[in-house]
């Protein structure tokens, strides 16, 4: 039986995954691969079918179980599609077929690669990119990314991509139509008389991938070396977890469709951007946990795209759940308040991650994040900090889940669903 392939995931430790480092442009190269192009292209050396199991021989392929791969170039064209891997050895990959496959195996110059999430790249120039969902079910708003050195900024400083959301592109590839954040893509001095790092702001909506420390200024030079990152999603939304400190601690980011509670609310689209949202001067030290919009601070904001208010502040994060009456509770860290001991090893106590809109001094429950679950208990002793745990069985079944840190200081844990339909 064919396994569903809509949800896909990528880990920087996978074979031939693009490296993200202390260099501008490396993050968009990774996004290109994970969202649009795929990577780790390998020629298929041999393939054997037994009933509805296909064993593909690819020497030292580097793929892993439950990863989604794409076969292309086969003369038997029914095999030119995506598959989810059942099992692996060093040199083989096993996948499930069904009775619709009348041919025995891929033929000709067939190859295999890690499958992208299913997005399109509308624009590419230097470190600038414009990505859009290919799903007709999506709002198909454009994520515009600037991952290159600004003339007012220095290459020795912290590295991050600057972001905005837009409805269309202009002929020159710049954001057009209705935009969120387009005015803040560039660096500018917040002063007419003093032109120094103490008055320089470089973008508002940021995805950091190289920084000296969680609490530091952006002018302090980050360490060299490659960064860990993890991308998971589908053709409508995705999460990016990236370690800007080279060795430990992940920053949690998101773009795409959420699950709206009221789909008839025409003021807001389903499109949400989670970033490090800050207007700090580059010479000012600040704690990233305070401004990361999937963190736990009330100073951090998500951006829910609105046609009527281009700077909508959305107060919500994995620290917020309807099970609790306080924003101080942290997923995977705070003790359960449900009155029952945790049975985490036999079945996790989890809930959807709520999106709460802060508007007119009131908070409105507008929907949930897709593919992720908030943990209503302290599991920090179960899972070490700053690690990705793959194929965890959290519900007593064989269904795999992933568990990853989403917060620097407390090691908060978030559950991601790598195989379900988001």
Q: CA distances (Å), 168 to each of 132, 174, 378, in order? A: 10, 9, 44
How do residues 59-114 score in pLDDT, each as one tens digit? 999 999 999 999 999 999 999 999 999 999 999 999 999 989 988 999 999 999 99
Cα 26 to Cα 18: distance, rounded to the nearest angstrom:
8
List residues bridging with 133 in a β-sheet.
Answer: 119
Closest to 402 in 3D by CA, of 387, 418, 386, 380: 418
Domains and CATH numbers, the chain: 10-14+24-33+118-416 (no CATH), 39-114 (2.40.30.180)
Higher pLDDT, 367 or 245: 245
CA distance 251 to 269: 25
- Taking residues 254-280, report their average pLDDT: 82
Q: What's the rounded Cα separation, in Å, for the pair 34 and 240?
A: 10
Cβ atoms within 10 Å of 174's Cβ, excluding its own: 15
> What's the whole-model pTM score?
0.92
In tens, the pLDDT along 250-261 reads: 898 999 998 887
- Confidence at residue 43, expressed as pLDDT on a 0 to 100 scale: 97
- The pLDDT score that the predictor gives to residue 321 is 36
- pLDDT score of 219 more than 70: yes
pLDDT, tens digit (0-9, with 9 covering 90-100), for 373-409: 888 777 777 787 778 888 887 666 678 889 888 777 7
Mean residue pLDDT of the chain comes to 85
Q: Is the pLDDT of residue 156 over 80?
A: yes
Res. 356: pLDDT tops 80: no
pLDDT band, residue 192 (cuts 50/70/90): confident
**Percentage of residues in the chain having pLDDT higher than 90:** 57
Local confidence band at 413 (pLDDT 50, 70, 90 cut-offs):
confident
For the residues 115-142, what does the mean pLDDT come to?
96
Query: Per-residue confidence at 144, pLDDT binned at 50, 70, 90?
Result: very high
What element of type H or E holds 290?
helix 288-291
pLDDT tens for each residue of 277-325: 888 999 999 998 888 887 655 555 677 776 554 444 443 433 333 333 3
Report residue 21's pLDDT band, with 50, 70 and 90 as the boundaries.
very high
H or E segment at 27? helix 26-31
């Amino acid at each position: 039986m064919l396994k569903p392939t809509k949800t896909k995931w990528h880990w920087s430790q996978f074979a031939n995954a693009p490296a993200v480092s202390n260099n501008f442009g490396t993050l968009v190269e990774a996004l290109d691969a994970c969202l649009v192009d795929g990577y780790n292209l390998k020629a298929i050396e041999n393939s054997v079918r037994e009933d509805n199991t296909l064993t593909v021989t690819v020497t030292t392929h580097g793929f892993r179980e439950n990863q989604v791969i794409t076969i292309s170039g086969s003369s038997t064209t029914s095999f030119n599609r995506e598959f989810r891997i059942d099992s692996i050895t060093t040199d083989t990959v096993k996948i499930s077929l069904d009775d619709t496959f009348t041919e025995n195996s891929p033929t000709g110059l067939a190859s295999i690669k890690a499958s992208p999430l299913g997005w399109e790249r509308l624009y590419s120039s230097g470190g600038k990119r414009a990505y859009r969902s290919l799903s007709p079910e999506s709002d198909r708003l454009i994520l515009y990314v600037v991952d290159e050195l600004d003339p007012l900024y220095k290459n020795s400083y912290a590295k991050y991509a600057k972001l905005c959301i837009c409805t269309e592109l202009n002929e020159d590839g710049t954001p057009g139509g209705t935009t969120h954040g387009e005015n803040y893509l560039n660096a500018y001095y917040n002063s007419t008389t003093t032109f120094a790092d103490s008055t320089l702001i470089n973008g508002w909506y940021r995805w950091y991938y190289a920084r000296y420390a969680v609490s530091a200024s952006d002018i302090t030079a980050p360490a060299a070396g490659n960064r860990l990152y993890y991308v998971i999603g589908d053709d409508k939304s995705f999460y990016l977890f990236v370690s800007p400190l080279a060795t430990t601690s992940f920053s949690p980011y998101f773009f795409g469709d959420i699950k709206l509670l009221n789909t008839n609310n025409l003021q807001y689209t389903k499109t949400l951007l989670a970033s490090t949202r800050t207007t700090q001067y580059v010479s000012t030290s600040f704690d990233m946990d305070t401004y990361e919009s999937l963190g736990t601070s009330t100073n951090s904001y998500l951006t829910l795209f609105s046609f009527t208010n281009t700077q909508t502040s959305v107060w919500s994060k994995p620290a917020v759940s309807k099970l609790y009456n306080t924003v101080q509770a942290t997923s995977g860290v705070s003790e359960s308040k449900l009155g029952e001991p945790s049975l985490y090893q036999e079945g996790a106590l989890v809930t959807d991650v709520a999106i709460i809109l802060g508007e007119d001094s009131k908070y409105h429950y507008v929907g949930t994040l897709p593919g992720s679950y908030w943990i209503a208990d302290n599991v920090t002793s179960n899972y070490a900090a700053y690690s990705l745990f793959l194929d965890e069985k959290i519900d007593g079944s064989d269904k795999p889940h992933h568990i990853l840190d989403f917060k620097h200081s407390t090691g908060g844990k978030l559950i991601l669903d790598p195989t379900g339909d988001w």
